[in-house]
Chain A
Amino acid sequence: MDMKREYFEDVQLFGSGTIIFWFVVLIGGLIMYPFLFPNYYVYVANYMAINVIVAIGLNLLVGFTGQISLGHAGFFAIGAYGTVALMSLVGLPFIIALPLAALIAAGFGFLIGFPALRLEGPYLTILTLGFGLTITLIIGKIEILGGRNGLHAPDLSIFGWQIKSDLDFYMLLIPITIFMAWFARNLVRTKIGRAFVAIRDADVAAETMGVNLAYYKTLSFAISAFYTGVAGGLYAFVLRFIEPELFSMIMSITFLAFIVVGGLGSIMGAITGACLISWLDLQLRNILDVPYLGDWLNSLSQSYFSITGCLNIQYIVLGLIMVLIMVFEPLGLFGIWIRLKKYWMTWPF
């Protein structure tokens, strides 16, 4: 095992040369990716990248600070509607509208954080859940935001660079995603990040040690909401059309599934979880076209279930993954990775 002898070894961004190597490989792969795969897969990558941003933000709140949120679809909706409205109604450029909308989302996160100071468990759950449902309902009633009919995203250009295709958007989105991940990775190594972890592990003890609970809990909500807001604003341009029904409770639950599957309290876990679940989400929509499995499901549906309800298999798969991960490996994919690493490092013992 690699033993850490100095404090600075514990807090450095890249633990070893191996990690730097793989990071460079990852960056190279991300640059090459759109030229190697057809357009649909670029769209898939965009979809994943947005979910990665949400997962990182949610993990800062749930995994690092130990608060529960079932209302992140609300922040996501604020980000999406905020960006589109600021651009098409106020006429701000994208580069200002996106952070501004995310700041609005962060403001709401801050407000939610206040009652959350005194709440925990089921009380916090219902509060965040209610927030998520309320926000989408209110947005659906505002005529200027398109009401039930939704909004079309305006044309996107940054300093004269017209962003039209999925490829262009990929070029914009991936640097943002990497920046957000890097920022989160740095954040959890600072005083703030460690205050979050202290609150998660024992809030009373943390307060005794001088961690300002009110400040850090609301900050955690605000940062998490900011991340989700940024992702929401970008999501509006991936879909090019947004409507209130998109931001349902199922979306909030899917967000939670990202980090549960990936691993609570780990940035890398959030990234892998988000990629895996969003890939599954897209694949399960046409599960009947998969060779062999699709035919088998088809005949199974015909004899015991119904063909029309066959698409609901995606709920079953998502639910099964959540239950199995929580029952057998509460730390998710990250936990499996740690176990594997330990196994090979100490092999053959």
Chain B
Amino acid sequence: MLEFFQMIVSALAVGSSYALMALAMVIIYKTSEVVNFAQGEMALASAYFTFMLLEIYGFSFISAFILAFVFSLILGAVLEFAVLRRAKEPNLLGLIIITIGMEFIILGLVSWKFGADQQVFPFPIGPYDSIEIAGTFISNLELLSFAIAILVMGVLFVFYRFSKMGMAMKATQQNPIAARIMGIRTKRIMMLTWGISAMVGCVAALLTAPILLEPFMMWGPMLKGFSAAVLGGMTSLPGAVAGAYILAIVENLFGGYISIEFKAVVAFAMIVLVLWFKPSGLFARHYVKKV
């Protein structure tokens, strides 16, 4: 039984990083219908930027993290402004190709700059310290990721629900033309959406980096986050979070009880099963095309 709780606890920790990536993808998909494959690499760039500030320029943790958030905000906004907005009559496939292209560009730049080797990311909490709660061990970093993930979700909820900007984003997503007529600068909203999404991704990357810092580190979380977002329905923020935790728990239990070897693919097997029965994910209404 203790083993079971241990698995759940570590699933919650892993699920937090999936949830953050899933949130980042859903934020963009909701507003602009773009499946952003560059999400992981945008986060990667922020992580390496922080690494550079800390290791090479000797910034303090607080200032480096704050600068990293600013950097990711600008990065997201610039990518939207410079690339996505320029696309001529984009269709879904075109947008996917563009984001994959951006992913490759960022990946190439980062690994050109820092090399493909694994680096050690300085972090105030060591990855191996852990505490014991009722017999289950949880590392401080896992606890921190869980807490921060919950915090980010709370902030996003408040932002979307109560702030004027969040309302404007919702309006843009529901009906861009009506939103424009109401005086909302929808293009600017789009840029800001990308910026916010990049910031959420940056949080995920900063929490992943102390464990592993190398150019491909965000592929796993990004793919799992994307799966989680699809599981949750791609358009709902709480759905994405729920999807992420469900995915992490199923994955961990499968790894613990059935087969550790195939743990990495159980997420995709689950996606296939869920999509078979609910083609729009668990928590979204199935969209039927009107003719």
**A contact residues vs B (CB 8 Å cutoff):** 62, 66, 68, 115, 118-123, 125-127, 129-131, 133-134, 137-138, 141, 204, 249, 253, 256-257, 260, 264, 301, 304-306, 308-310, 312-323, 326-328, 330
Q: Decide if A314 touches B35 in the complex (CB within 8 Å).
A: no
Q: Whose C-beta in chain A lies nearest to the C-beta of B117? A: A308
The CB with the most chain B CB atoms within 10 A, among A120, A125, A130, A314, is that of: A130
A323 contacts B272, CB within 8 Å? no
* Residues in B78-124 with C-beta less than 8 Å from chain A: 83, 86-90, 92-94, 96-98, 100-109, 111-117
A186–B287 Cα distance when bound, in Å, is 36
Question: Once the chains bind, are B87 and A326 in contact (CB under 8 Å)?
Answer: yes
Residue pair A313, B112 in contact (C-beta under 8 Å): yes
Q: Which residue from B86, B102, B264 sits with its C-beta under 8 Å from A319? A: B102
Residues of B with C-beta under 8 A to A68 = 92-93, 96
Closest to B291 in A: A204
Contact B88 A330 (CB under 8 A): yes
On chain B, the residues within 8 Å of A309 by CB distance are: 111-116
State the Cβ distance, A348 to closest chain B Cβ, in Å: 26
Is B94 a contact of A330 with CB atoms below 8 Å? yes
Q: B262: which A residues are within 8 A, CB to CB?
A: 137-138, 141
A residues in contact with B53, CB < 8 Å: none
Bound CA span A125–B99, Å:
13
In the complex, identify which listed stretch (B10-18, B180-188, B273-281) lies at the interface while the others stay far away: B273-281
Q: Among B90, B97, B261, which residue has its beta carbon within 8 angstroms of that of A141? A: B261
B-to-A contact residues, CB < 8 Å: 29, 35, 83, 86-90, 92-94, 96-98, 100-109, 111-117, 215, 219, 223, 226-227, 229-230, 234, 261-262, 264-265, 267-269, 271-272, 275-276, 279-281, 289, 291
B16 CB to closest chain A CB (Å) equals 20
Contact assessment for B108 and A121 in the assembled complex, using a CB-CB cutoff below 8 Å: no
Taking CB atoms, residues of chain B closer than 8 Å to A310 are 112
From the candidates B90, B113, B264, name the one contacting A326 in the complex (CB within 8 A): B90
Instruction: Flag if A131 contacts B268 (CB, 8 Å).
Output: yes
Chain A residues whose C-beta falls within 8 Å of the C-beta of B261 in the assembled complex: 141
- Complex CA gap A51/B8 in Å reads 45
Query: Residue of B at shortest CB range from A202?
Result: B291
Chain A residues, CB < 8 A from B276? 115
Query: In the docked arrangement, what's the CA distance between A13 and B87, Å?
Result: 34
Measured between C-beta atoms, what is the minimum distance from A152 to chain B in Å? 24
Instruction: Let me know if B265 and A133 touch, CB within 8 A.
Output: yes
B96, A115: Cβ atoms closer than 8 Å: no
With A260-B97, A312-B116 as contacts: A137 and B264 at CB distance below 8 Å: yes
Cα(A122)–Cα(B279), bound, Å: 11
**In the bound complex, what is the Cα–Cα distance between A256 and B104 (angstroms)?**
13
Interchain CB contact under 8 A, B115 and A306 = yes
Main secondary structure of the interface of A (DSSP, over half): helix
A327 touching B92, Cβ below 8 Å: no
Q: Please state if B111 and A315 are interface contacts (CB–CB under 8 Å).
A: yes
**Contact B113 A138, beta carbon cutoff 8 Å:** no
A298 to chain B, nearest CB (A): 12
User: Can you offer 7 A-B residue contacts whose CB atoms are under 8 A?
Assistant: A122-B234, A130-B265, A306-B115, A309-B111, A315-B111, A319-B102, A326-B87
Query: Is A322 a contact of B104 with CB atoms below 8 Å?
Result: yes
Which residues does chain B contribute within 8 Å of A264, judged by CB atoms? 93
Given A314-B108, A326-B101, answer yes or no on A134-B113 (Cβ-Cβ < 8 Å): no
* Cβ contacts under 8 Å, B267 to chain A: 130
The distance from the CB of B237 to the nearest CB of chain A, in whole angstroms, is 15
Residues on A with beta carbons closer than 8 Å to the beta carbon of B268: 126, 129-131, 133-134
Q: A118-B275, A253-B100, A328-B88 are in contact. List 8 more A-B contacts (CB 8 A).
A: A115-B276, A122-B29, A123-B279, A127-B272, A130-B271, A138-B262, A327-B83, A330-B94
Q: Is the CB of B279 within 8 A of A326?
A: no
Partner of A123, one of B94, B112, B230: B230
| B42 CB to nearest A CB, Å | 13
Judging by beta carbons under 8 Å apart, are B114 and A306 in contact?
A: yes
A119-B279, A253-B100, A316-B112 as given contacts; A323 in contact with B83, CB under 8 Å = yes
| B101: chain A residues within 8 A (beta carbon) | 318-323, 326
Nearest residue in B to A204 (C-beta to C-beta)? B291
Residue in A closest to B99 when the chains form the complex, CB atoms: A323
7 interchain residue pairs of minimum CB distance: A130-B268, A319-B104, A315-B108, A322-B101, A316-B108, A323-B101, A319-B105
* Contact among A115, A304, A320 for B275, CB-based, below 8 A: A115
Contact of A312 among B35, B92, B98, B107 (CB under 8 A): B107
Question: In chain A, what residue has the closest Cβ to B279?
Answer: A118
Neighbouring B residues of A127 by C-beta, 8 Å: 271-272, 275
Find chain B residues with CB under 8 A from A141 CB.
Answer: 261-262
**Interface contact A125-B104, CB-CB below 8 Å:** no
B230 pairs with A126, CB closer than 8 A: yes
Task: Pick the residue among A62, A125, A253, A327 that contacts B88 (CB under 8 A).
Answer: A327
Using Cβ atoms and an 8 Å threshold, which residues of chain B touch A122?
Answer: 29, 35, 226, 229-230, 234
Residue of B nearest to A304 (CB): B113
